[in-house]
Amino acid sequence: MANIVIDRVRKSFGAFQALKEVSLTINDGEFVSLLGPSGCGKTTLLRIIAGLETASGGDVRIGDKSVLGLAPRDRGLAMVFQNYAVFPHMTVYENVAFGLRMQKADEARIKAQVEKAAGLLHIEQYLDRYPNKLSGGQRQRVAVARALAVEPKVLLMDEPLSNLDALLRLEMRTELKTVLQSAGTTTIYVTHDQTEAMGLSDRIAVMHGGIVEQVGSPVDVYNHPATRFVGGFIGNPPMNFIKVPVLNGQVSAGIEQLNAPQEAGREIILGLRGEAVELAGLPEGLEMKVRVAEPMGSHLLLTGSIHDQPVRVILPASETVGSGDTIGLKLDRKRITWLSPESGQSFP
């Protein structure tokens, strides 16, 4: 079993707490992303799991065994880091074969595994080259192939696709997902790219300021963000947050009355996904002033305001709304997230 338990891990650099107290369990064969903005502590956490950084407190267990006392190479994991250098004095073939040679695999198995990994990463044609004759993206693919070639039980990756152009990145993402799923590899994947995390992960741990704010499936964190930070970080456009008055336990949205949570005070934040609306007339719908209408081909993106607060909504491409229009919106009440204006936490 290669489950990973991160148990109340803390890390300070001097007086600065990079990780406050992080607990997270990654199940055997699961793909979990650590997602968050720059500086939130995701790389630090990954480096602690890998053994490249020491924790200030807490424990990390792999397969129910504490690994904090073990050197990186004894932890039974493979790693791909953003700038994880490939060996410049070895050909691509030898780079990819490296881990297998360390394991003293026989030549036939090495050849088979190198060819398989190279095929997946589309680097077959570079096997005889040296890394200085490759582009940054090609080198990055060599690093990923080298990690996959040993068929590790646990794989740690830190922004492994960051040097690829958008199209190749999308292709690699799909390939990675297929490969790791079929191999049953337990994977922790660090990224600040929410689309990548959404597409790849079984679950996402959203990090912010040295803590995990929420852990859940991509659909769960998207539809039910635990905090304002999560709703604003995930989704493109991000979730809209509109502060609205609560009267007799209800919030008006055009002619519709929405039931606010019982714990609500006099004001509440209505969290609304941009696509959870339909065009309705006025005064039936909730009034939105459209500042800019952008036809995106697949949909129509509207930027403007509701109750004088900035919002972005998405309508079907077939709707005809122009910049400067005032429109009415019907809200999909099942898709509303209510949040506390004070704490920024969502109501259950």
> Smallest distance, Å, CB 37 to ligand ATP?
7
Decide if 176 contacts 191 (C-beta within 8 A): no
| Closer CB to ligand ATP, 44 or 113, in the complex | 44
Element (H, E) at 68: none
Cα–Cα distance measured from residue 136 to residue 141, given in angstroms and rounded to the nearest whole number: 9
> Smallest distance, Å, CB 20 to ligand ATP?
11
Closest Cα partner for 316 from 341, 345, 279? Answer: 279
Which residue's entry shows tokens 């500086």?
39
Helix (H, G, I), strand (E, B) or coil at 124: helix
| Closer CB to ligand ATP, 191 or 240, in the complex | 191
> Smallest distance, Å, CB 274 to ligand ATP?
26
Helix (H, G, I), strand (E, B) or coil at 225: coil
> Smallest distance, Å, CB 208 to ligand ATP?
9
Region at 68 (left for phi over 0; alpha for psi -120 to 50; beta for the rest): alpha
| Closer CB to ligand ATP, 36 or 152, in the complex | 36
Which residue's entry shows tokens 């990954």?
46
Cα–Cα distance measured from residue 81 to residue 146, given in angstroms and rounded to the nearest whole number: 12
| Closer CB to ligand ATP, 41 or 99, in the complex | 41
> Smallest distance, Å, CB 44 to ligand ATP?
3
Residue numbers 10-69 binding ligand ATP by CB under 6 A: 13, 16, 18, 36, 38-44
Structure tokens, 186: 């337990």
| Closer CB to ligand ATP, 23 or 305, in the complex | 23
Cα–Cα distance measured from residue 76 to residue 184, given in angstroms and rounded to the nearest whole number: 15
How many residues bind ligand ATP (CB under 6 A)? The answer is 12
Closest Cα partner for 143 from 181, 88, 202? Answer: 88
* Omega of the bond leading into 237 within 30 degrees of 0 (cis): yes
> Smallest distance, Å, CB 230 to ligand ATP?
15
Decide if 5 contacts 61 (C-beta within 8 A): yes
Q: Residues 6 or more apart from 197 whose CB is under 8 A from it?
A: 33, 35, 189, 191, 204, 218
Helix (H, G, I), strand (E, B) or coil at 186: strand
| Closer CB to ligand ATP, 36 or 235, in the complex | 36
> Smallest distance, Å, CB 38 to ligand ATP?
3
| Closer CB to ligand ATP, 31 or 81, in the complex | 81
| Closer CB to ligand ATP, 41 or 160, in the complex | 41
Q: From residue 192 to residue 211, what is the string marking binding to ligand ATP with x (rule CB under 6 A)?
A: x-------------------
> Smallest distance, Å, CB 43 to ligand ATP?
3
| Closer CB to ligand ATP, 16 or 266, in the complex | 16
Decide if 190 contacts 46 (C-beta within 8 A): yes
> Smallest distance, Å, CB 233 to ligand ATP?
12
- Which residue has its beta carbon closest to ligand ATP? 43
Q: Residues 6 or more apart from 324 whose CB is under 8 A from it?
A: 290, 291
Decide if 30 contacts 180 (C-beta within 8 A): no
Catalog residues that contact ligand ATP under the rule CB under 6 A: 13, 16, 18, 36, 38-44, 192
